[in-house]
Chains A and B, each alone.
Chain A
Amino acid sequence: MSASVNGNGADPVASRSLLSVRDLRLGVGGEDSGFEPVVGATLRADRGEVVGVVGESGSGKSLTMRAIAGLLPPGVELRGGAIDVDGIDVATASKAQLRKLHGEKVGMIFQEPMTALNPTMRIGTQIAEAARAHHDVSRAEAKRRAIELLGRMGFADPENRYRLYPHELSGGMRQRVVIAIALAGEPGLLLCDEPTTALDATVTMRVLDLLVGLASEFDIGVIIVTHDLGVAARICDRIVVMYAGRMVEEGPAGEVLRRPRHPYTLALLRAVPTRDSTIQDLRAIPGSPPRPGDDLPGCPFAPRCEFAEPACLGPVEVTAVGDGRMTACRRHEVLAGMVSARG
């Protein structure tokens, strides 16, 4: 195995930092009775960087994105930690700051392009109104920008497509309209919540390539939430693995996927079919993820972990393990030894 992969953005310049999330805690219900779907999510993103957030459903990925965008669903509250998006502290942001956050700092792309678009509004108008929300431009100028964005998104004949309604488009085209809307406010950060889950495999690749292209072309940070490691491997510079509302591992994409430093990441990798794998090679992760509200004093993955030892039920600390990598596993050295021995 090669010595070290030169991960992109391994040594980020401080001024290129766009997003920093530290120890984010989100709660549902009252402080006493409720539970916390996110406990200690930590995340950062720089300009021009594509960050993948990976984990099972219910690991708190989507809620973390909604918290960053200042769009938490009703009933979910910020209980701790800090979110800083390009100088805006989301927890304490004023109404004016929030409107700046929405669209101008952060563009949001949703999982279901079917429901993310207003069914009674022309797609062009939906893009143009996003442009007008942040830039003092005339209707005609906003329309011109919307048409330009449609063109960039790969629509042939954007002038006429401008007048279509969402139901007249295919899933992939709709998702590209959603991307155009997210870009219309010219944000520095693009949050994509499972952007390709609802799409065909062939369309998926085109949409992903589009997103990666945008990151370098506009020098914006892109965060892609996905449960698909293949997607993450293909396009991400850096990967953050989440489990049970916590960040369990982080590092350059190639490193994390080749030499995981957390048993959960390893388990995820083993569950992905490859061209050479037979059905026997695939391993489902034993047990099931903790239910929301479960009391988890130690490592949340310990009950399902083949490397677990009694100490794993004690407090967990996130440690740096070199090459800009972090892990929440106390037995990462054992894991590293095993992975490289097999590698």
Chain B
Amino acid sequence: MTYAHFIGRRLLHVIPVVFGVTFVVFWLIHLVPGDPARTALGFHATPQAIAHLHHEWGLDQSLPAQYINYLGRLIRGDLGTSFRFQDSAGALIVERLPVTLWLIGYSAFLISLIAGPLALLAASKPGAMRDRLVRIFSIAGLGIPGFWLGLILIQYIAIEARILPAAGFGEGFMGHVESMFLPSLTIAVGIIPLVVRSLRAEVLKVADSEFVVTARAKGLSERRIRLRHVLRNALPPSVTILTINIGFLVGGTVVIERVYGLGGVGDLMLTAINARDFPIVQAVTLFFALIVIVINFFGDLLQALLDPRLETQ
């Protein structure tokens, strides 16, 4: 099988997943108590006004009919119209997209940048002081709640030390790099320990392989053995861990965007849930699901590049 086949087959997998996501989200959100018309019009609204709004938003139809309407619009590329903003859900998401994509990309970058060397450091001498230190920091990183770490970083790094901005998206590329550092770091801290742990274990396992003895028997430098032979073969499982956790991370952005006042897609989601703004909640959930799918897709592509055996399976 060629690489193109591999990609094509992976793309076909996306369709049922997207369909499943729309189904689950639609039915779940209608299980949540709360009426968007009541929320929009207030507690004293007349039953006529509420009924009028229900009709206008299509909420007077049966749920299966609503679901079919929703799918029909989706196929035409229409994500729905916000009850609250009277704007198309697609436009609202696209407007806030850069913040969220920056957050995800920047976090993934920081995770790779920090977790790789830490794992190699810990694995270079298992049981030694450096290994134990890495482990202690990992446990601490796992235990710290993201929103709390965010508040602490804002307080000490941004407000007191004035090293980095406390909130906002910043202006221009360098502005984004500066402003998004703390939010991205906050997210990264929660995921780095998972990647470090898996990569450390995998590096130790691969270092015991016979082909590493072969590499040593060739007279290669220790550096080349570690990077080209050990690390290269230890990476695939950690790539999986990373891609799965970036999926969770997408959910994590909702809280972090609020803490840092970023106004991204996650922030839009929180507002929409409070307002029972069904079309937005559905659209954002679908969007998040797509991001997770895309990230996993790239993860799989990366796996296939790292491990030539996967391509042929």
B304 CB to closest chain A CB, in angstroms? 11
A277 at the interface (CB under 8 A from B): no
Q: Which residues of B contact A104 (CB under 8 A)?
A: 219
0/1 string, B173-217, CB within 8 A of A gives 1: 000000000000000000000000000000000000111011111
A121 at the interface (CB under 8 A from B): yes
- CB pair B214–A100 under 8 Å, yes or no, is no
Closest-by-CB residue of A relative to B307 is: A120
Please tell me which stretch of A22-30, A106-114, A257-265, A318-326 contacts chain B, meaning at least 4 of its Cβ atoms lie within 8 angstroms of it: A106-114
- CB pair B219–A185 under 8 Å, yes or no, is yes
- CB pair A181–B214 under 8 Å, yes or no, is yes
Residue from B216, B224, B306, B309 within 8 A of A129 (CB atoms) = B224
A117 to B218 alpha-carbon distance, docked (Å): 12
A313 to B294 alpha-carbon distance, docked (Å): 73
Q: Which residues of B contact A112 (CB under 8 A)?
A: 210
B308 at the interface (CB under 8 A from A): yes
- CB pair B219–A165 under 8 Å, yes or no, is no
B302 at the interface (CB under 8 A from A): no
Residue from A110, A119, A165, A184 within 8 A of B218 (CB atoms) = A184
- CB pair A119–B220 under 8 Å, yes or no, is no
A130 to B217 alpha-carbon distance, docked (Å): 9
B237 CB to closest chain A CB, in angstroms? 13
0/1 string, A98-132, CB within 8 A of B gives 1: 01111110111010100111111100000001100
Interface size class of A (residues with CB under 8 A): 20 to 34
A99 to B308 alpha-carbon distance, docked (Å): 30
B228 CB to closest chain A CB, in angstroms? 7
A71 at the interface (CB under 8 A from B): yes
Closest-by-CB residue of A relative to B217 is: A108
Q: Which residues of A contact B13 (CB under 8 A)?
A: none
0/1 string, A175-186, CB within 8 A of B gives 1: 000100110110
A184 to B307 alpha-carbon distance, docked (Å): 25
Given contacts A118-B215, A118-B233, A165-B308, contact A129 B210 (CB under 8 A): no
- CB pair B214–A133 under 8 Å, yes or no, is no
A51 at the interface (CB under 8 A from B): no
Given contacts A115-B209, A115-B210, contact A107 B215 (CB under 8 A): no
- CB pair B209–A69 under 8 Å, yes or no, is no
A184 to B218 alpha-carbon distance, docked (Å): 8
- CB pair A130–B218 under 8 Å, yes or no, is yes
B52 at the interface (CB under 8 A from A): no
Interface size class of B (residues with CB under 8 A): 20 to 34
Q: Which residues of A contact B229 (CB under 8 A)?
A: 118, 121
B232 at the interface (CB under 8 A from A): yes
With a 10 A CB-CB cut-off, give which of B218, B221, B224 has the most chain A CB atoms. B218
A112 to B213 alpha-carbon distance, docked (Å): 12
Given contacts A115-B210, A167-B309, contact A134 B219 (CB under 8 A): yes
Given contacts A120-B307, A121-B228, contact A71 B217 (CB under 8 A): yes
B235 CB to closest chain A CB, in angstroms? 9
Residue from A102, A119, A121, A185 within 8 A of B216 (CB atoms) = A102
B217 CB to closest chain A CB, in angstroms? 4
- CB pair A115–B219 under 8 Å, yes or no, is no
Q: Which residues of A contact B224 (CB under 8 A)?
A: 129
A181 CB to closest chain B CB, in angstroms? 6
A337 CB to closest chain B CB, in angstroms? 45
Q: Which residues of B contact A120 (CB under 8 A)?
A: 232-233, 306-308
A60 to B307 alpha-carbon distance, docked (Å): 36
Q: Which residues of A contact B216 (CB under 8 A)?
A: 71, 102
B231 CB to closest chain A CB, in angstroms? 11
- CB pair B218–A103 under 8 Å, yes or no, is yes
CB proximity to B under 8 Å, residues A173-220: 178, 181-182, 184-185
Q: Assuming A71-B213, A118-B211, what are 6 further A-B pairs, CB within 8 angstroms?
A: A99-B219, A102-B217, A115-B211, A119-B211, A119-B233, A178-B214
Name B residues whose Cβ lies closer than 8 Å to a Cβ of A: 209-211, 213-221, 224, 228-229, 232-233, 306-309, 312
Task: Provide a sorted-by-A list of 17 A–B residue pairs whose CB atoms are within 8 angstroms.
Answer: A99-B221, A100-B219, A103-B219, A108-B217, A112-B210, A116-B210, A116-B214, A118-B215, A119-B211, A119-B307, A120-B233, A121-B229, A130-B218, A165-B308, A178-B214, A181-B214, A184-B218
Q: Which 5 pairs between the two chains have the least Cβ-Cβ distance?
A: A103-B219, A102-B219, A130-B218, A108-B217, A115-B210
